[in-house]
Amino acid sequence: MSILFSPDSEQIWQRKWNEAKLFESNLNGDKPKFYCLEMYPYPSGKMHMGHVRNYSIGDAVARYKRMMGFDVLYPMGFDSFGMPAENAAIKENAHPHEITERNMASITDQIKRMGFSYDWKRQVKSHDPRYYRWNQWFFTKFMEMGLATQQFAPVNWCSQCETVLANEQVKAGRCWRCNGPVSQEEMNQWFLDIPSYAQELVDGLDTIDFPENVKALQRDWIGRSEGAEITFAIEGREEEIKVFTTRPDTLFGTTFVTLAPEHPLAGSLVKGTPQEEAWQHLYDEVSAMSEFDRIKNMNKKRGVPLGVHAIHPLTGERIPIWAGNFVIASYGTGAVMAVPGHDERDFDFAKSYDIPIRRVLVMKEGADADAELKRAESDFGWMVNSPIEGFDGLYGDEAKSAVINALTAKNAGSQTINWKIRPWLVSRQRYWGTPIPVIHCGSCGAVPVPEADLPVELPRDVTFGEGNPLETSASFLAADCPTCGEEGRRETDTMDTFVDSSWYFLRFTDPLNDELCFDSAKANQWMNVDFYCGGIEHAQMHLIYARFWTKALRDLGLHDIDEPFNELLCQGMVNMAAPWCESCGLTFTVDLAGAPCPQCNAVLGERSAKMSKSTGNTVSPEDMIEQYGADTVRLFILFAANPTAGMDWSDTALEANYKVMMQLYSMPERMQSWDGPAGPMDVWFEGRLKQRVEEFQSAMDVYDLRRAVELSHYELVKDVNWYTRRGGNNAEIASKILRHWAHMLSISTPHIAEEWWAVLGMDGLISGAEMPQLDPISPAEQTALDGETTTRSFLENARKIKDVAERHLDGPATSATIIVAPTWKRELAVTALEFLEQGGNPKQFIGVLSKMEIAQGERKGEIMGFWGKKMLPQVFKWDDESRILIRSTLDEVESLRLRSSFIAEELGLSTVHVVLGESEDDDTGRAGGAMPLSPSVVYA
RNA sequence: GCAGGGGUGGCUGAGGUGGUCAAAGGCGCCGGGCUUAAGAUCCGGUCCCGUACGGGUUCGUGGGUUCGUAUCCCACCCCCUGCACCA
């Protein structure tokens, strides 16, 4: 009975899995749990190859863990709030809700067609009030904790998206979503205080298994820097200037203080003075610039003196105050103490404005303290020229603490840690998100909506395209103050959709609960996520927000988990060739293939580029599944590259994998039609199976899916071929092999595995079955494995030599004598191996050798030479397996004699003799080249 | 500039705790078996030289350590990713 692939048959199995509720997760307590998760997808209407790759990886892991006896939680849901749906709604004159539901239905069908083993009963979707009511509930709790606050502050505004953005969402000064320009606007906005968790977010990285680059990205983004906050008094004024510095040891070199032009003090200091105009000019220029342009222009350092002086906190010296375009208002305190002698940026500035440069450090101990500074010397150094006793000569951390101590004593500064990460700006002026549950009251201010009134649902009576849609809904806006009952106005901002993905993994542990966000016992049992798979692009946004949110919910007492994700795997990109101009270094859209470069007219070549709609180098998963089936697509995608590496889509490689699948489809029929008796190769095959299962498991345990698939779909086929080639023909062994093999197939190509399972007459579905344990490899099996391995390597060698030999013989060889290395060589090898194993130096072995019995007598010189020239290099070349073999009882002569007819057949010879070198049987005189495990051959 | 990751045979891509490495697997190419034939499958080959199992040259470049290095150390070049006048 041959099994043929048909797309329908795959769907039949999917229905059966569904009916059997195989993938519904229930903790039953006696099995270990495993939580496997892929990053919450946005429901675009179509599944793309990136999805296919992501889910093929996750599904293989989930299926493997299930097969190994874990209780697996493997859910799927949709991050269904967000601007694409809203923008599409505006374009199509439809409603985001309908568009989202439509897209979700369509992508769900496509995902299901791949046969992934999700527990669909747990599906979560962000735009469901049953879900987002908890966003609102958390928000009100955060308000109580003081974690969520409303502030009037300069924020990033994207005019194309008509909304504000968090800092993380501004990439190179442009909007992460639409790449439009981002400007600074002062607005009243909601913030979540991530910096209060910054230290924990940094420390937590040491406890989880994230790739190094992701950890580096996060550390970078969180941006911890240790230093001091120093207060400068202002001459003749009440106000003070606070600066942050990482180099308090250079405090005595401060020759000016610079404020960001937007610093509130800057304006007030110059008000009504002759400097006001110049400052205003700088302010206008800087604030009108997009951040992108501003950063670009920062290398042209410019500033204006404010005509006011600060007082050095330790020396009392008068120091001019400047406003400078290179100081960023939102980092640190928005003010810096400028030390031109030891800071490059300050040096540049001082040079162009002729401000004194003072040396207060020398880079070599005892160096000339008055040497001129030709450039900023910004490394650590020894303090010099300190106007106060007790500092000169101090270095690095010691110097820093001395200055900080002096400042602390004068109440003019303290040691602080500054974070680059800033509060998460969560309000958005868009419709398709979670309404922020706040009512603004004239007398009570911003009042959280009481729990009983949640969820605050999105109204339908809104108009799109005229600013914030929620402001157009009269019914939504009207709300009485929950505290005093006065007429209030509802908050019209919605939450950043990254809120939705910040805790969905917790909701999955208890998704249908309408009383609680989740039951804490369930969350504690399932969490954290053991294996989390998704794209690297979320390294700083989602993966920081989710870690923060998890900790915040923990502090609300909702669960006990510190980190949401244990092991993170970032899958590589799916690439495909696209037109590319070598000289311009540009990639073009596929419609330009074959055309000349639009920039330079050169002939366009090809280069692999990320599959993307805009380039047009895409392949539709739907078409591929239709043509080749889900199993083939999955096999290709897992086999083409390691999960973390980029992979190139290749139609020919896909075809090749399809052939493999076809071959595997016919495998049960082929193997079950064997009709021979039990034979010596059966022992080998059983041992081989055990080896393969073991290799497969160790590959899967470290998520080396490529290797696992190689074993299950390629190596075992080769093993079958070897078995039959060596005369194996026993149907009984076939069934045993196939049963275990089916399990290995099932993690990546589950549909064919079910076909096999059925053909083998097994009960139930393999997707719900655990893989049975195999006994350890027996001594007999090991001997068989060794025998075949050595025979195989012998054949490889003998074939090579045969060519050369036949040129010698002037005709085809008809017989061969195999000369096994004489026993003294093996003895030598064994002794040398033992010597080295005990830590002996190879150079010293010659001393041991000269005392050995085999090295006495007239052959001594020959044998000593043999050691140095032949045996010494060889001793190191043997792998562990060979070393064991050499020291085992393996009888090489016997082992080869057993297989001599096979060897003869393989080499096309009529007779093959096996002799022990230098024995009476050996009349060849050619034992010289033979080595243990590597006999010589003489053809005749 | 700083941080992280890389540079391997015609292509792709493993390995990288020094000896199992002339270097897995896949693709491509060549030869053989099967077949009326093609395809598929199976077997073998695929750095160079060599009339007998040997020699030579290779893992970005140049040095070094070692009995031995693709693998370790140093310097340099190039590519990717992120951050970036961050105080």
Give the pLDDT confidence score for residue A477 in this predicted structure. 94
Helix (H) or strand (E) holding A568: strand A565-570
Q: With a 7 Å cutoff on the CB, does A913 touch strand B?
A: no
d(CA A578, CA A615): 7
Q: With a 7 Å cutoff on the CB, does A940 touch strand B?
A: yes
d(CA A181, CA A169): 12
**Per DSSP, what are the bridge partners of residue A648?**
A575
pTM as predicted = 0.90
Which residue matches tokens 């950890």? A215
> Can you give the distance from the CA of residue A836 to the C1' of nucleotide B20 in angstroms?
16
What is the nearest nucleotide to A244, using C1' and CA?
B87
The packing angle between helices A621-628 and A651-672, to 10°, is 30
Cβ neighbours for A582, distance < 8 A, ≥ 6 positions apart? A602, A605
**Per DSSP, what are the bridge partners of residue A78?**
A125
What residue type is A848 in one-letter code?
A: V
Q: Which of residues 226-285 of A touch strand B (CB under 7 A)?
A: 227, 243-247, 260
For residue A660, which phi and psi values (nearest 5 degrees)?
-60, -45
Give the pLDDT confidence score for residue A2 in this predicted structure. 39
List % helix, strand, coil for chain A (3-state, nearest 5).
Answer: 45, 20, 35
* DSSP at A248: G
Are A502 and A549 in contact, with CB atoms under 8 Å apart? yes
For A304-318, letters b (16+ CB in 10 Å) and e give bbbbbbbbbbbeeee
Angle at alpha carbon of residue A579, lines to A576 and A583, rounded to 5°: 125
What is the nearest nucleotide to A539, using C1' and CA?
B82
Give the pLDDT confidence score for residue A553 in this predicted structure. 97
Positions of chain A with pLDDT under 50: 1-3
* DSSP at A375: S
pLDDT tens-digit readout, A501-558: 999 999 999 999 999 999 999 999 999 999 999 888 888 889 999 999 999 999 999 9
Cβ neighbours for A224, distance < 8 A, ≥ 6 positions apart? A198, A199, A202, A417, A418, A419, A420
Give the pLDDT confidence score for residue A157 in this predicted structure. 86
d(CA A437, CA A416): 35
Which residue matches tokens 């110059």? A270
Are A875 and A922 in contact, with CB atoms under 8 Å apart? no
Which residue, among A928, A855, A857, A883, has the nearest Cα to A845 in the 3D structure?
A855
Cβ neighbours for A145, distance < 8 A, ≥ 6 positions apart? A552, A555, A556
- Backbone torsion region of residue A674, taken as left when φ is above 0, otherwise alpha when ψ lies between -120 and 50, otherwise beta: beta
Q: Enter the tokens of residue A562.
A: 């510190």
d(CA A237, CA A417): 28
pLDDT tens-digit readout, A355-364: 999 999 998 8
> Can you give the distance from the CA of residue A722 to the C1' of nucleotide B53 in angstroms?
25
Q: With a 7 Å cutoff on the CB, does A400 touch strand B?
A: no
What residue type is A34 in one-letter code?
A: F
Instruction: Residue A677: count other Cβ atoms within 10 Å of its Cβ.
Output: 8
Q: Which nucleotides of strand B lie within 7 A of protein CB?
A: 3-5, 12-14, 19-22, 24-28, 40-46, 50-54, 67-68, 81-87
CA torsion angle for A341, A346, A352, A353 (degrees, to 10)? Answer: -90
Are A429 and A83 in contact, with CB atoms under 8 Å apart? no
Give the pLDDT confidence score for residue A792 in this predicted structure. 82
d(CA A511, CA A131): 8
What residue type is A85 in one-letter code?
A: A
What is the nearest nucleotide to A167, using C1' and CA?
B83
